[in-house]
């Protein structure tokens, strides 16, 4: 017996899994273009190690190649109950009803060439006493290029503008505020969009926010491979590599200290390797 899903939950899970498949195929194609035979390795897991998957689980996808030094693309669909204290921090949850359901995709790519930006993307559908979508994507270049930043933001803006005239500015600012490292007084990267708590009131609310979330995923899949292909063959010096490794240290600090997704996974019995796949393969602190 496995976690039982209603139609909305099943539709969201199916979409996230199909997006995972398309992203992984696109990234493997880039590796092939670079003369690499690297492919994703998939590792299924069940929540809390339950062999019957009553609490759901997921699949961790990981590839280490010539272009993608380390990229993780994870999908999960889990359900259960929050601890009383953690429930107080979650939209729509509480001591009276700590139950939850969550399904989503999470991606982090750390690149071999310092001129190619690292990237993060995730979209998710959560249910407590409320139902909502959240997610976003942000670009994290060790060596920023204005044209890459502009192209990334323009493509996300195009997705946002289809659904709300104020979406891009609201969600761009949310990303800037969220992906900030207070103890360093720097942003994690050059931003993107971040949104949460897009409440699904009735079927119409679900369909509208699901459509937006799908457009965010499609926008990411459209723009990021183009940026990778434009930069992956650029010559890089030892100093470029050193700079990238120091940049990765800042990225690791944010994900371990401030990232809400990391905390959510650890607090809900997620797979430790999948939760921490966002960490770079090598980083330095000098």
Q: Which residues are catalytic?
A: 120
| Tokens coding 191 | 């931003």
CA 164 to chain centre: 22
Token representation of residue 55: 């609490």
Q: Which two tokens stand for residue 159?
A: 């997705």
Q: Token pair for residue 2?
A: 């496995």
E strands within 112-212? 118-127, 131-140, 180-181, 186-187, 191-199
Contact of 1 with 196, CB cutoff 8 Å: no
Q: Is 66 left (phi over 0), alpha (psi -120 to 50) or beta?
A: alpha
Which is it for the CA torsion 250, 256, 258, 262, positive or negative? Answer: positive
Q: Nearest 5°: CA angle at 148, between 73 and 254?
A: 50
Cα–Cα distance for residue pair 193/272, rounded to 1 Å: 26
Query: Of the candidates 138, 146, 135, which has an alpha carbon nearest to the alpha carbon of residue 118?
Result: 138
């Amino acid at each position: 017996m496995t976690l039982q899903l209603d139609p909305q939950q099943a539709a969201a899970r199916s979409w996230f899994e199909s997006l995972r498949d398309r992203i992984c195929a696109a990234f493997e194609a880039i590796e092939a273009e670079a003369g690499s035979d690297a492919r994703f390795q998939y590792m299924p897991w069940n929540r809390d190690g339950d062999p019957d998957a009553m609490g759901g689980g997921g699949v961790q996808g990981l590839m280490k190649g010539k272009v993608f030094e380390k990229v993780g693309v994870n999908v999960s669909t889990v359900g259960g109950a929050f601890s009383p204290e953690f429930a107080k921090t979650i939209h729509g949850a509480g001591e009276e009803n700590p139950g939850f359901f969550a399904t989503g995709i999470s991606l982090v790519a750390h690149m071999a060439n310092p001129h190619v930006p690292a990237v993060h993307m995730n979209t998710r559908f959560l249910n407590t006493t409320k139902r909502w979508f959240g997610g976003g994507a942000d670009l994290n270049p060790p060596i920023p290029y204005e044209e890459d930043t502009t192209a990334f933001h323009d493509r996300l803006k195009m997705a946002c503008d289809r659904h709300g005239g104020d979406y891009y500015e609201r969600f761009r600012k949310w990303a800037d505020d969220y992906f900030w490292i207070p103890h360093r007084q720097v942003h994690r990267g050059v931003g993107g969009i971040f949104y949460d708590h897009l409440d699904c009131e009735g079927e119409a609310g679900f369909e509208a926010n699901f459509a937006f979330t799908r457009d965010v995923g499609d926008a990411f899949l459209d723009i990021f491979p183009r940026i990778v292909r434009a930069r992956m063959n650029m010559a890089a010096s030892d100093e470029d590599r050193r700079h990238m490794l120091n940049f990765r240290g800042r990225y690791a600090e944010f994900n371990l200290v401030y990232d809400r997704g990391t905390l959510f996974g650890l607090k809900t019995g997620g797979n430790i390797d999948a939760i921490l796949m966002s960490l770079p393969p090598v980083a330095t602190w000098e």
